[in-house]
């Protein structure tokens, strides 16, 4: 997934025992094995939370997973789901309520990694714990990934090791584009023409569903202007950011920029034109549900997620001719940090050692990695050699690579033989021509001294920001002013000062 930084040619000086003990290379293909010295005589049932909605065949798939885990470490996992619509409320509630669980998906920036790490929600993964209970992760994880996972010099997650981009692209219905003689969409103006045409002519299809303007924030407000959010300062909607091409590290309030004002006005125009449903603010659908169901003419997500839906939709409805549009070709972008997807252990877990062992197996046991990514072999997928797979008829009941296994993506994870060629071709082009670096791209804010202000700001974002993004405020200019005032009243200036101080120290430490 779903993410800002990839491996790059900057040498990190790694100090102390933490990184010296996590000094494995990223190329080993070894499969995991359980150390005989670890006591597993008592059976353990672990509880894990991942994101999304439970697929139809989840019980069958995880039954196969548990049979292997039972044999290898005398443990099973009860897999629970946090729907996308409930992420903002249910995820923090798991920790504040003291719920008993063991493993949970997390990510820097968009899924509470830093917030929960600084609130003592996650177990610190010390070198000793990792060496004993997750030896394959120690051996194979890139050193940069461990560096990125540090919060106050401590590690609280095992990141994935996938090089990916969070840069937003648009999935569109090629049949509808052709029906109305619209040229290939390669610009914001082209996308707007497509949306305008759909809204005027299609009675049962809206241009975009669910988040509406909220999903458009990244391409139209941030990417289009070379802005990016400061990791660790937001859950879903960036408030504090910096310019990607500004290496000085200056942080600013995105909400107080002319670009944000223009964006809010445009979202009002889009909403009034019927580009999305007026009930979007209360919708629980994911950003691609309506697109896959034929109820919307587009979806916005990262290229991997859009391509996955493209493959599924074109197989089920080839007449739709789903295609990918980059509306900002040539724009500069970061690759994701490894911490854009990862797994953490609840600080209050009663079985943290076994949870860590299970995670190591999910990452490096080939059978477990195959099952949790792709489902039951022969039912949902089949192997194509050692590194690829093909989907079978039942894949819709456990969509390959789409049931939140991203936290344990590793070098042994298979790729889909039917993956659209546009994905590797586009990523190769981005890597060659468009990827830039910034001292702050691996910086993550530690909010431990401004927890109350951060909580208040998040409330304001939901109450005042989301309606602006969905275009349902009558006067978006006045609404933006009120939004800014409410953010300042919640403590935005204090938070921004703390962010700037930490950012300055971070940049200085890298010189």
Question: Tens digit of pLDDT for each residue in 366-414?
Answer: 999 999 999 999 999 999 999 999 999 999 999 999 999 999 999 999 9
Per-residue model confidence as pLDDT tens digits over 215-224: 899 999 999 9
- Tell me the two tokens of residue 209: 């569903």
Task: Quickly count: other Cβ atoms within 10 Å of residue 193's Cβ.
Answer: 16
Average pLDDT over residues 147-158: 91
Instruction: Give the number of domains in the chain.
Output: 3
Q: For residue 397, is it within any domain? A: yes
Residue of 217, 214, 259, 255 whose CA lies nearest to 492: 255
Q: What is the sign of the dihedral through the CA atoms of 94, 95, 99 and 100?
A: positive
Residues 158 and 190 in one domain: no
Q: Which of 353, 439, 315 is nearest to 40 (CA)?
A: 353
pLDDT value of residue 510: 66
Residue 427 resides in a domain: no
- Locate 493 and state its tokens: 């200036």
HSE at residue 96, side-chain half, CA atoms within 13 A, is 7
Q: Are residues 308 and 344 in the same domain?
A: no
Lowest-confidence segment of 6-15, 53-62, 205-214 by average pLDDT: 6-15
Q: Strands across the sheet with 75-82, in order?
A: 75-82, 44-51, 103-106, 342-345, 158-159
Regarding whether 239 and 302 lie in a shared domain, the answer is no
**206 vs 6, higher pLDDT:** 206
The reply to whether 128 falls in a domain is: yes
Euclidean distance between CA atoms 115 and 119, whole angstroms: 6
Is a pLDDT exceeding 70 seen at residue 423?
yes
Residue 410 CB partners (closer than 8 Å, separation 6+): 140, 160, 161, 363, 364, 369
Q: What is the pTM of this model?
A: 0.70
Same domain for 204 and 172, yes or no, is yes
Check pLDDT > 50 for residue 7: no
Q: How many CB atoms lie within 10 A of CB 411?
A: 17
Same domain, 408 and 355: yes
Confidence category of residue 511, pLDDT binned at 50, 70, 90: low
Last residue of a domain, one of 382, 416, 450: 416
Q: Pick the most confident of 83-92, 149-158, 356-365.
A: 356-365
**Domain-located, residue 385:** yes
User: Is residue 25 located within the same domain as residue 138?
Assistant: yes
Residue carrying the six token digits 């995670």: 359
Q: Which residue, of 383, 416, 449, is where some domain finishes?
A: 416
CATH number of the domain bearing residue 291: 3.40.190.10
Find residue 186's DSSP bridge partners. none
Instruction: Characterize the bridge pairing of strands 227-229 and 252-253.
Output: unpaired
Residues 256 and 349 in one domain: no
Mean pLDDT of 203-208: 95
Judge whether 82 and 91 are in contact, CB under 8 Å: yes
456 and 365: one domain?
no
Q: Answer yes or no: is 343 within a domain.
A: yes
Instruction: Tell whether 364 and 316 lie within a shared domain.
Output: no
Provide the domain limits for residue 318.
167-212+283-333
Task: Let me know if residue 429 belongs to a domain.
Answer: no
pLDDT digits (tens, 9 = 90+) for 254-297: 999 999 999 999 999 999 999 998 888 887 778 898 999 999 99
Q: Which strands form 298-302's sheet, in the order they lie side by side?
A: 298-302, 168-173, 322-325
Distance from chain centroid for Cα 396: 21
Concatenate the DSSP letters of all residues of 403-447 into one string: SS-GGG--TT--EETT--THHHHHHHHIIIIIB---TTTT-B---
Residue 7 lies in a domain: no
Across the chain, what does the average pLDDT equal?
A: 90
Exposure class string for 307-323: b at 16+ Cβ within 10 A, else e: bbbbbbbbeeeeebbbb
**In percent, how much of the chain has pLDDT > 70?**
92
In a domain, 307, yes or no: yes
Residue 465 and residue 501 in one domain: yes
Do 323 and 203 share a domain, yes or no? Answer: yes
Report how far residue 264's alpha carbon sits from residue 484's, in angstroms, rounded to the nearest whole number.
13
Q: How many CA atoms lie within 13 A of 340 on its CB side?
A: 23
- What pLDDT band is residue 326 in, cutting at 50, 70 and 90? very high
Residues 362 and 323 both lie in one domain = no
Out of 292, 311, 333, a domain closes at 333
Q: How many Å apart are CA 320 and CA 323, to the nearest integer?
A: 9
Q: Read off the pLDDT band of 27 (50, 70, 90).
A: very low
Residue 282 tokens read as: 């209360």
Model confidence at 4: pLDDT above 80: no
């Amino acid at each position: 997934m779903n993410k800002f930084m990839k491996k790059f040619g900057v040498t990190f000086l790694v100090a102390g025992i933490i990184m010296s003990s996590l000094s494995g290379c990223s190329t080993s293909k070894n499969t995991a094995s359980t150390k005989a010295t670890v006591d597993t005589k008592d059976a353990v049932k672990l509880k894990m939370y991942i994101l999304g909605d439970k697929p139809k065949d989840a019980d069958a798939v995880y039954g196969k997973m548990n049979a292997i885990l039972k044999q290898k470490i005398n443990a099973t996992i009860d897999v629970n789901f946090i729907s996308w619509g409930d992420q903002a409320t249910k995820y923090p509630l798991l920790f504040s309520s003291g719920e008993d669980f063991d493993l949970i998906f997390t990510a820097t920036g968009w899924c509470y990694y830093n917030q929960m790490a600084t609130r003592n929600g996650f177990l610190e993964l010390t070198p000793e714990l990792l060496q004993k209970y997750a030896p394959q992760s120690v051996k194979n994880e890139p050193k940069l990934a461990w560096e990125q996972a540090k919060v106050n010099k401590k590690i609280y997650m095992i990141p994935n090791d996938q090089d990916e981009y969070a840069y937003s692209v648009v999935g569109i219905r090629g049949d509808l584009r052709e029906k109305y003689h619209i040229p290939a969409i390669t610009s914001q103006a082209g996308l707007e023409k497509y949306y305008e045409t759909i809204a005027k002519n299609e009675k049962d299809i809206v241009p975009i569903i669910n988040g509406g303007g909220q999903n458009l924030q990244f391409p139209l407000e941030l990417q289009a202007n070379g802005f990016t959010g400061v990791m660790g300062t937001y859950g879903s909607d960036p408030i504090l950011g910096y310019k990607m091409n500004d290496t000085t590290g200056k942080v600013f309030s995105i909400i107080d920029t002319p670009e944000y004002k223009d964006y809010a006005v445009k979202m009002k125009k889009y909403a009034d034109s019927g580009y999305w449903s007026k009930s979007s603010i209360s919708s629980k659908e994911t950003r691609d549900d309506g697109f896959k169901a034929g109820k919307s003419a587009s979806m916005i997500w990262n290229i991997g997620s859009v391509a996955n839906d493209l493959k599924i939709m074109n197989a089920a409805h080839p007449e739709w001719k789903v295609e990918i549009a980059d509306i900002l070709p040539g724009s500069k972008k970061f690759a994701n940090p490894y911490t854009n997807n990862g797994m953490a252990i609840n600080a209050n877990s009663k079985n943290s050692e076994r949870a860590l062992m299970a995670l190591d197996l999910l990452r490096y046991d080939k059978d477990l990695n195959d099952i949790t990514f792709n489902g039951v072999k022969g039912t949902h997928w089949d192997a194509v050699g050692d590194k690829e797979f093909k989907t079978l008829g039942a894949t819709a009941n456990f969509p390959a690579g789409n049931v939140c296994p991203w936290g344990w993506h590793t070098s042994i994870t298979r790729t889909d033989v039917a993956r659209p060629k546009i994905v590797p071709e586009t990523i190769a082009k981005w890597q060659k021509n468009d990827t830039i670096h910034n001292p702050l791209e691996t910086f993550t804010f530690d909010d431990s001294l401004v927890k109350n202000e951060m909580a208040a700001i998040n409330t304001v974002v939901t109450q005042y920001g989301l309606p602006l993004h969905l275009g349902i405020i009558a006067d978006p200019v006045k609404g933006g002013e009120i939004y800014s005032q409410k953010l300042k009243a919640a403590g935005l200036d204090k938070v921004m000062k703390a962010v700037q101080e930490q950012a300055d120290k971070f940049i200085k430490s890298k010189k």
